[in-house]
């Protein structure tokens, strides 16, 4: 496997050649029927989505519930197929393509779940959980060494190797989920609300872990969130979704200061109305200082 590009070179690559490119993604679902003799209505979840992710960049994907964020993420993960459209990774087809032939993509692009408690098998030790993707994807490495390396990168030491998920706190479980994702040394991480179930101090710790992994390893990140304060702390670029469409795609600082879409304005106002937010900063003025 090609080694990660040092972060010092990532900024030069951004804008030159895409890592992941999605074009014309559409997805509709049939709603439950209101009466049994009438077919359920069709609702469009994604509408003509075009998206480009560059090596090493950190991108936020925000929007209200039901806006299509998770469907887009699942499509990029090749878990859920869009009705139409194409997805490529480094010019290789991801969709349409045979799922059985996507082992290379599973190694290059890894997923951080929203709820690690439900995604970690309670019967397995931390050692087995982190090593599992290495074995399943047949990564050429020493699984024990790579497992210890991944845990060390997220701040967990050797005593955690033999623990089971029920012996971990929420923050520790999320760190194990991140270690499991980075064990294959992926080029990009796709995260679905990875901080939503964590207390505020633990959120700050996990944000620092993700930021450090990106800075040190040059790993790209696409993070789904409904909280713009989280995105402002992590991502230089932000996508805003509404009704299945990407309605804004701009640098985070620019989007924060001059929102163009009503949904973006609503999300910014939500941060200013919260008594605390996901990071040590607590209101819109504090987040503005970060930008």
For the chain, domain boundaries: 10-290
pLDDT tens for the chain, 291 residues: list them. Answer: 333 333 333 444 444 789 999 999 999 988 777 666 676 678 889 999 999 999 999 999 999 888 999 999 999 999 999 999 999 999 899 987 776 688 999 999 999 988 877 788 999 999 999 999 999 999 999 999 999 999 999 989 889 999 999 999 888 998 999 999 999 999 999 999 888 777 778 888 888 889 998 998 899 999 998 888 888 889 999 999 999 999 999 999 999 889 999 999 999 888 765 544 444 444 455 545 545
Considering the domain 10-290 in this protein, what is its CATH number?
3.40.50.300
Q: Distance between CA 3 and CA 65 in Å, rounded? A: 37
Residue 34 per-residue DSSP state: S
Q: Distance between CA 225 and CA 270 in Å, rounded? A: 13
Q: Name the pTM for this structure.
A: 0.83
Residue 85 per-residue DSSP state: E
Contacts of range 84-89, beta carbons closer than 8 Å, 24 or more positions apart: 84/24, 84/25, 84/26, 85/22, 85/23, 85/24, 85/25, 85/26, 85/49, 86/22, 86/23, 86/24, 87/20, 87/21, 87/22, 87/23, 87/25, 88/18, 88/20, 88/21, 89/19, 89/20, 89/21
Comparing CA positions, the residue from 161, 169, 175 lying closest to residue 124 is 161
């Amino acid at each position: 496997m090609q080694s990660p590009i040092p972060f010092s070179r990532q900024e030069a690559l951004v804008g030159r050649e895409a890592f992941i490119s999605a074009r014309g993604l559409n997805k509709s679902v049939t709603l439950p029927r209101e009466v049994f003799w009438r077919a359920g209505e069709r609702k469009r979840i994604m509408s003509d989505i075009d998206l480009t992710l560059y090596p090493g960049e950190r991108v936020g994907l925000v929007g209200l519930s039901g806006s299509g964020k998770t469907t887009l993420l699942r499509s990029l993960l090749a878990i859920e197929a869009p009705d139409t459209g194409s997805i490529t990774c480094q010019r290789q087809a991801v969709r349409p393509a045979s799922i059985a032939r996507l082992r290379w993509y599973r190694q290059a692009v890894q997923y951080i779940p929203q709820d690690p408690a439900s995604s970690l098998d309670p019967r397995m030790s931390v050692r087995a959980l982190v090593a599992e993707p290495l074995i399943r994807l047949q990564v050429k490495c020493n699984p024990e060494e790579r497992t210890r390396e991944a845990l060390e990168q997220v701040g967990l030491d050797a005593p955690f190797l033999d623990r089971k998920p029920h012996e971990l706190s929420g923050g520790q479980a999320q760190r194990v989920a991140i270690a499991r994702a980075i064990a294959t040394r992926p080029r990009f991480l796709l995260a679905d609300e990875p901080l939503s179930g964590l207390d505020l101090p633990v959120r700050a710790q996990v944000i620092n872990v993700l930021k450090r992994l990106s800075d040190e390893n040059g790993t790209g990140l696409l993070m789904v969130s409904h909280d713009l304060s989280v995105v402002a702390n992590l991502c230089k670029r932000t996508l805003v979704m509404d009704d299945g469409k990407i309605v804004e795609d701009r640098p985070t600082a620019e989007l924060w200061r001059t929102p163009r879409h009503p949904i973006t304005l609503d999300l910014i106002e939500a941060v200013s109305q919260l008594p605390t937010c996901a990071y040590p900063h607590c209101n819109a003025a504090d987040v503005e200082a970060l930008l």
